[in-house]
Amino acid sequence: MRQNRLGPVPLPKKKEVEKKFARGEMETMFTDDKCVTVWRDNKPVYTASNSYSGVSSERVRRWNRQEREYIDLPIPHSVAKYNKGMGGVDLLDAMVAKYRGRVRRNKWWWPIFNWFVGVTAVNAWRLMRVNQDPDLPYLKFLRGLVMEVLSKHGKKKERTGFPVTVRGRAGDSLRRDAGHHMIVVSKMSRHCQHPRCIGRSKYECSRCNVGLHPACFASYHNL
């Protein structure tokens, strides 16, 4: 926990701990079933728990710069349990914040919905890494997921008489689903979505709804 969240808990402040506490030294305050502990590691660490106490017989290895060797330091029970279980929530929050949606709304529930979508995407990415591709980058997965959703649920919008569509390749499952993909004349010139083509085409795929040159049509659906 942060030092400014301690409130009236009579534990020494961060600067005082750095001056007076030796590395590995700790101090604990109890009230009812709650325990707040400050422990001096490289920096002061404050923890609060209603399950684990600050007293522990556990020890942890740390590098001592002065003696240039590893030493064993006592560690509070609450810190040891946190270090053992950390990783899941921390990584989830970091990945959700990395590519957070920037669309703002005035509705009170919108941040909750936005967070829910981000958490769902991160969990799906982690499952795919476990079951299919352990080296799949999150950004690549997120882009494919967005294009998959847009290809299935996106709709054309009419603005001043001209059809406007979302640019980008169709999702992998849609492009490779062996459905009725047909090349047809588009209502307007569009960028060819083949990754090795940079021109514009007056043709499109009727199923993927993306611009394609006739010469790029077959290879695009087998990428």
Give 10-residue mean pLDDT values along the chain (223 residues). 82 89 89 87 89 81 87 88 76 84 84 90 90 87 86 60 46 68 84 82 85 87 75
Domain co-membership, 78 together with 106: no
Domain span holding position 42: 3-85
Q: Where are the alpha helices (DSSP H) in the chain?
A: 14-20, 77-85, 88-98, 110-131, 138-153, 172-175, 214-220
Residue 22 lies in a domain: yes
Domain co-membership, 124 together with 65: no
> What are the phi and psi torsion angles at 120 (to 5°)?
-60, -40
Predicted confidence at residue 103, as pLDDT, reads 78
Is residue 161 within a helix (H) or strand (E), and if so which, with residue range? Answer: none
| Token pair 């659906």: residue | 221
Predicted confidence at residue 92, as pLDDT, reads 83
For residue 147, give both structure tokens: 């294009």
Predicted confidence at residue 116, as pLDDT, reads 92
Residue 12 lies in a domain: yes
Domain co-membership, 32 together with 100: no
Domains contained in the chain, number? 3
Residue 198 lies in a domain: yes
For the chain, the farthest-separated pair of C-alpha atoms sits apart, in whole angstroms, at 78
Predicted confidence at residue 119, as pLDDT, reads 92
Domain co-membership, 111 together with 75: no
In terms of Cα–Cα distance, which of 30, 72, 73, 28 is closest to 54? 28
Domain co-membership, 7 together with 78: yes
Residue 151 lies in a domain: no
Predicted confidence at residue 121, as pLDDT, reads 92
